[in-house]
Amino acid sequence: MIRSPPIDNWNGSFVAEFILLGLSDNPQVKVLLFVMFLVVYLITISGNIILITVCVHEPRLHTPMYFFLVNLSFLDIFYSCVFVPNYLVHLLQDIWSISFAGCAAQIFACLVLAVTESALLTIMAFDRYVAICFPLHYTSVMNSSTCTKMVVGSWLNACVLPLPVIVMTLRLPLCGNNVINNFFCEAITLVNMACVDTFFIEMVIFISGIFVLLIPILLISISYLNILMAILKIHSTEGRSRAFSTCASHLINVSVMYAAGIYMYMKPVPKNKTNQEKILAVFYTVGPPLWNPIIYSLRNKEIKLVMKNLLKK
């Protein structure tokens, strides 16, 4: 049973805490969800730590591609920690609540980390473009200074670009409803709960989505179009296969991430959160940190070789 705070604790424009409905209120399903999320969380953290350790430990992997991959793994660890531990605690309680400050922190972390990941995926596509299309100039273009500036720039961009959405969302007057039909707080949920016309902020979210989703997709597409043209010029089958293998993992990750992001943020804000959208929310919040180390490890011969050598030692 859902319990809300007394009406006189808030005046319709400010909510002291939110009640999270989660994915299910069935006790047996909650136990199953707890086990599943705990296993996923442990695999996610351990997988990314192993990938970081392998890349840092092996001098052969001290290249721009693996430098970006290590940063992506650090990002995935933070991203997973924003959602999963809090939900695991909630699954052990009858009433799942989160303070307004906690909700604001989740919204901020979610947007900042998502924008950073989008920037990193774009940088990784550019790295593959330079490596395959301009191999003789690769070391001079993608030097350590340039790579560091790119990563720092992606974080700085992520701290600035989502600010209008975050500030406008948190300043919205709410309609006396503090029940969120999800397992975490996100900006579009609070927009849906607002007592005022939300057309302007929805447009701001849409425009932000152009910069965070559509423009990166365009840049990645241009990079891979040039990569494809360069690969087709390679005469040996082995050379083509090797070039394709270095891009396959990144393409899989990009396709899944941006498809989910566009569906969630580049369409009108739904009035009611459906079960399908909640499942998709799990997919794009819990999924990427889990499958990134798996995808990049299983499809990367160098990482698999280094891991085998480390296990032998």
Q: Which tens digit of pLDDT belongs to each residue from 184-204?
A: 888 888 888 888 888 899 899
Can you tell me the distance from the alpha carbon of 211 to that of 207, in angstroms, rounded to the nearest whole number? 7
Q: Does domain 16-312 have CATH number 1.20.1070.10?
A: yes
- Give the rounded distance of the alpha carbon of 124 from its chain centre: 15
pLDDT score, position 166? 92
Nearest to 277 by CA among 75, 39, 79, 21: 21
Distance, CA of 230 to CA of 247 (rounded, Å): 13
Q: Do 46 and 206 contact (CB within 8 A), yes or no?
A: no
Q: What are phi and psi of 99, to 5 degrees?
A: -70, 165
Comparing CA positions, the residue from 14, 81, 76, 78 lying closest to residue 47 is 76
Q: What is the pTM of this model?
A: 0.86
Residue whose pair of structure tokens reads 């005469």 in the numeric block: 235
Residue environment code for 47-78, b if the CB has 16+ CB neighbours within 10 A, otherwise e = bbebbbebbeebeebebbbbbbbbbbbebbbe
Strand partners, 19: 97, 179
SS3 18: strand
Give exposure, 215-246, as e/b (b: 16+ Cβ within 10 Å). Answer: ebbebbeebbeebeeebeeeeeeeeeeebeeb
Q: Of 221, 198, 205, 201, whose CA–CA distance to 261 is shortest? A: 205
Where are the domains positioned within the chain?
Answer: 16-312
Query: How do 97-99 and 179-180 pair as beta strands?
Result: unpaired
pLDDT for the residue numbered 259: 81
The one-letter code for the residue type at 292 is N
Q: How confident is the model over 36-71, as pLDDT tens digits?
A: 999 999 999 998 998 898 888 888 888 998 999 999
- Contact criterion met (CB below 8 Å) for 265 and 213: yes
d(CA 43, CA 8): 44
The token pair that represents 80 in the structure block? 């997973």
Residues near 127 by Cβ (< 8 Å), separated by ≥ 6?
A: 64, 65, 68, 142
| Token pair recorded at residue 3 | 């319990």
Tens-level pLDDT at each residue, the chain (313 residues):
334 444 333 334 567 788 888 888 888 888 999 999 999 999 999 989 988 988 888 888 889 989 999 999 999 999 999 888 988 888 888 777 888 888 999 999 999 999 999 999 999 999 999 988 898 999 999 999 999 999 999 999 999 999 999 999 988 888 767 888 888 888 888 888 888 888 899 899 889 989 999 999 999 999 999 988 888 887 777 667 766 766 777 787 788 788 877 877 777 666 556 667 777 778 778 888 888 888 777 666 777 777 777 777 6
